[in-house]
Chain A
Amino acid sequence: MRVLAAIAAKELRDGLRNRWALSIALGLALLALVIAWFGPAASGKVGFASLGATVVSLASLAVFLVPLVALLLGYEAVVGEAERGTLLLLLAYPLSRPLLLAGKFAGHALLLAAAVAVGLGGAALVLAATGAAEAEGFWAAFGRLVGSTALLGWAFLALAYAISAGAREKGRAAALALAAWLGLVLVYDLLLLGALVAAAGRVPAWLFEALLVANPADAFRVLNLGGEAAREALGGLGGLVHGAALSPALLVSVLLAWTALLLGLAFWRFARRPV
């Protein structure tokens, strides 16, 4: 347990030292503010419009940015140490492979959650200073957003670990991570929408729901766009998930299950990795 904490602490320190966490948090906060402020510009005004619109805007930002950030944070996890020569060294130490991977993931997961909390939390504080916090349920809505965004990040961090654990070279891991991001965050939705339109409403609800939760990015979208606060501000898939029978508890479980599954894949590939 102390060894696990030591590995996690080292990853945290590394992430803070190279200013990775700081730049992500700052970037997230700035983008969040810009989006919260200018998001309603289309309707002819500038400034905090409504809680629902703000949460939807921020969730749309998070679903693009956070998976990318998580993949970039994690794709080096194993293959980077291998190329540096430290993997061979650490495996010659009296520790097991699962312990090493678990420690690194714990450190990276904490770092990512902290960056998300500081970034979105900072934006919330600035909005609150302008009086937005008077809206009913403001803090609860932001708490849910931060929590679900961290879960989204963890699922993609686990995906990055699964890629890294079996990759031969850093470059290949980076390419795979980018492809995963494009596929899951951008292409998947386009294909899904296209298929729905082509099928002209003949797709059974259960299949549609299954396809939504088959992608952690979509599970996150449904979780945040299907919420009470978002009822009045929908777009894209949001309109379709309106009536979906996917409860927040189920969607949170789906995100956790994706994290566990992908992390399990990472452990499996790491155990088989030749040194």
Chain B
Amino acid sequence: MSALLAIRGAEARFGPVKALRGLDLEVRAGEVVGLLGHNGAGKTTTLKLALGLLRPQAGSVRLLGVDPAGRQGRRARARVGFLPENVSFYDMLTGREVLRYLARLKRRPAAEADRLLERVGLAHAADRRVRTWSKGMRQRLGLAQALLGRPELLLLDEPTVGLDPVATAELYATIGRLRGEGVGVVLCSHVLAGIERHIDRCVIVGHGRVLAAGTLEELRARARLPIRIRARGRWHEPPLQGLGEGEGVVARRLNGHQLELDVAPERKLAVLRALAAAPGVEDLDVRPPGLETLYAHFDAMLHRGPDGEAP
């Protein structure tokens, strides 16, 4: 099956500033791709390329099989939903008026706008002016407009900024439902904590290029970062026999009954077996490196160069 969005080797320049230098991104139906990176890494520029609002100076962009900045781009955009970062809508209009207006611009019936207000849980406030709405409600209105016209591809720029934990969970639930319906989703975020469970693949960008891409497992395998294991129990001497300390295992005594180990991935099972068999060990906690750790690793690699040498 062909990709909903395919960006290959894209370069974008604003004057002398290179915003993107050779970026690749592919999104297929029914997958959620996290486009992750700190502010200014090139995430929003990538979305603008995808929507045809910018033309790449080099490389190619295909949105639903066509060039989004070309003549057929407009028709492709009708099948895409976009939630920009920091959109504040029209304060003087009510939520219903805003969404009906945007529905007309997308050539959709007003009834669809009303249904979507219901779906994102804004029906009760729909006839109040947007000016009186909270940040979370505006964000949900943004999501509702992105869903106009049953898009095949959703581009969400920092959708969880300003949302409380409940609203964030609801947003991810909605994204999960859409994925089930076969919608492809690009989720841009600089908040990495807690996003892992909701994305199928991630593309980590920094300084306008892809630092790493793949599933979380693939990134972990590539980064070969140690796994953190904590052992808790009652012992006189910490259970360090047979763990192979020094060979891919670094141990730290946290206190009298807790031990923390950083273990190379290939040593994980051996260490776990040894710990499980050691007398006095009561509990084990295994933590693979999270997205934040991975991001820091790949970002640092860019600065150091892959061999660990300073460039």
Contacts and interface: CB of A to CB of B under 8 A. Distances in A.
Contacts of B104: 2-3, 6
Interface residues of B, number: 28
Interface in A35-62: none
Interface stretch (A9-17, A157-165, A240-248): A9-17
Interface stretch (A82-90, A230-238, A253-261): A82-90
B88 A92 contact: no
A7 interface: yes
Given A10-B101, A95-B105, A85 B93 contact: no
A93 B105 contact: yes
A17 B107 CA distance: 24
Interface string B61-100: 0000000000000110110101011111110110001000
A92 B77 contact: yes
A93 B106 contact: yes
Size bracket of the A interface:
20 to 34
B74 A96 contact: yes
Contacts of B250: none
A89 B86 contact: no
B89 A7 contact: no
Given A92-B77, A94-B106, A18 B92 contact: yes
A94 B75 contact: yes
A275 B48 contact: yes
19 contacts: A6-B104, A7-B105, A13-B93, A13-B97, A17-B92, A18-B92, A85-B85, A86-B89, A88-B53, A88-B84, A89-B84, A89-B87, A92-B53, A92-B80, A93-B105, A94-B105, A94-B106, A94-B107, A275-B54
Interface of A: 2-3, 6-7, 10, 13-14, 17-18, 84-86, 88-96, 274-275
Closest 6 CB pairs of A and B: A85-B87, A6-B104, A94-B78, A92-B82, A17-B92, A275-B53
Interface of B: 14, 48, 51, 53-54, 74-75, 77-78, 80, 82, 84-90, 92-93, 97, 101-102, 104-107, 145
